[in-house]
Amino acid sequence: MINLSRRPRRNRKSAGIREMVQETTLRVSDFIYPMFIQEGANQKVEVKSMPGIYRFSLDNLLEELKEVTDLGIVAIDLFPNYPESKKDRIASESYHENTFYLKAITAIKEQFPELVIMTDVAMDPYSSDGHDGLVENGKILNDATLEILGNMSLAQAKAGADILGPSDMMDGRVGYIRKHLDTHGFTDVSIMSYSAKYASAFYGPFRDALQSAPKFGDKNSYQMNPANKREALLEAQLDFEEGADMLMVKPALSYLDIIRLLDENFEIPIAAYNVSGEYAMIKAAALNGWLDGDRAMMEVLLSIRRAGAKCILTYFAKEAAMILNG
């Protein structure tokens, strides 16, 4: 026998001990479930590149939400899909009082008053240019976009949103939105800022889901360069100072170091967005029989928590909840 004073395997010798010493845990309430809504009735359309994820009309979404809330999921992030015919340069549909997205928020809140509803603040689903900001001569205008985001935010707050998620990456928008909300009496509406949002290939399936891909160019003049880390600190610092309640890193898996960095530097909750492409990757491999989808899913979610995220926006929310609930 070799004389070893440290045998780490002792802490792995039984299921009980392994559980006892487990450092990071996943809870169903860690998840925010992103969901897609479209206009119409009795619609449930599977997103091709996201098996198991659908675009629902409101009636079917309300049905689905029964299942979602029964699983113990406490929060959703709702994204609208608009037809090309409703889009314009200034995303006017986004703050039109009678638009189906805003009416849906109110209807969901009525039926599920306890459910936390997060909304997306950005122009892209409503923009004929498919960009998150206002386009002029091929350029994305920062300050003119803020005004539109302010209108959109106020409309979503009025509709009943609990948390607004500015995902546009314009400078100064958190402060602008905060002030606009406060001025109109919505001091209780929270902001979860997409603080470090990278220009990523992993948003592909989401843009399929919403038919929201940019009509020209790319998003590199507002979303961050995947090579940069210090810049994430600056973005987070600004959002913190401007009044964000929570900071988000997006995507999650290629940016675990950024999650950790923000968690170590800020005293507000850090969220991570396990994005559409990260979901699609695991689904595709699992459907091919190339890996165990359930195990890969749980491992990935745990890694995001371990890196320091308090909550995780994930399309896996339902499936992971089923496993966690046993």
Ligand X SMILES: NCc1[nH]cc(CCC(=O)O)c1CC(=O)O
DSSP 193: E
Q: Give the residue, chosen from 174, 181, 275, 324, that forms a contact with ligand X under the rule CB under 6 A.
A: 275
CA pseudo-torsion sign 292, 49, 55, 202? positive
Q: Give the residue, chosen from 126, 198, 206, 222, that forms a contact with ligand X under the rule CB under 6 A.
A: 206
Q: By CB under 6 A, is residue 120 in contact with ligand X?
A: yes
Q: Give the residue, chosen from 47, 117, 118, 122, that forms a contact with ligand X under the rule CB under 6 A.
A: 122
Going by C-alpha positions, the residue among 47, 82, 308, 80 that lies closest to residue 196 is 308
Nearer to Mg ion, 77 or 235 (CB): 235
| Minimum separation from the CB atom of position 66 to ligand X (A) | 24
Between residue 141 and residue 170, which ones bind ligand X under the rule CB under 6 A?
Answer: 167-168
Residues 55 and 47 sit within 8 Å (Cβ to Cβ)? yes
Strand 54-56 versus strand 44-46 pairing type: antiparallel
Q: Which amino acid, one-letter code, is at 108?
A: I
| Minimum separation from the CB atom of position 318 to ligand X (A) | 15
Nearer to Mg ion, 30 or 239 (CB): 239
The catalytically annotated residue of 86, 87, 197, 283 is: 197
44 binding partner (options Mg ion, ligand X, none; Cβ < 5 to 8 Å by kind): none
Residues 105 and 163 sit within 8 Å (Cβ to Cβ)? no
The catalytically annotated residue of 86, 219, 250, 283 is: 250
Q: Which amino acid, one-letter code, is at 55?
A: R
Q: By CB under 6 A, is residue 129 in contact with ligand X?
A: no
Nearer to Mg ion, 132 or 235 (CB): 235
Q: Give the residue, chosen from 224, 276, 304, 324, that forms a contact with ligand X under the rule CB under 6 A.
A: 276
Element (H, E) at 34: strand 31-38
Dist. CA 271–CA 287, nearest whole Å? 28
Alpha-carbon 32 to chain mean position:
7
44 is catalytic: no
What are the backbone angles phi and psi of residue 313, rounded to the nearest 5°?
Answer: -85, 115
Q: Among 14-22, 123-131, 183-191, 235-243, which window interacts with Mg ion (CB under 5 A)?
A: 235-243
Q: Give the residue, chosen from 235, 242, 263, 278, that forms a contact with Mg ion under the rule CB under 5 A.
A: 235
Which residues make beta-bridge pairs with 46? 54
Q: Which amino acid, one-letter code, is at 3?
A: N
| Minimum separation from the CB atom of position 5 to Mg ion (A) | 50
13 is catalytic: no
Going by C-alpha positions, the residue among 315, 307, 317 that lies closest to residue 278 is 315
Token representation of residue 241: 């100072």
Classified as helix, coil or strand, 215 is coil
| Minimum separation from the CB atom of position 201 to Mg ion (A) | 21
Q: Among 11-19, 104-112, 180-188, 201-209, which window interacts with ligand X (CB under 6 A)?
A: 201-209
Residues 226 and 254 sit within 8 Å (Cβ to Cβ)? yes
162 binding partner (options Mg ion, ligand X, none; Cβ < 5 to 8 Å by kind): none
Nearer to ligand X, 265 or 303 (CB): 303
Alpha-carbon 188 to chain mean position:
20
| Minimum separation from the CB atom of position 16 to ligand X (A) | 38
Nearer to ligand X, 58 or 170 (CB): 170
* CA angle, residues 215, 97, 160, in degrees to nearest 5: 100
Residues labelled as active-site residues: 197, 250
What is the binding site for Mg ion (CB under 5 A)? 235
What is the binding site for ligand X (CB under 6 A)? 120, 122, 124, 132, 167-168, 203, 206-207, 275-276
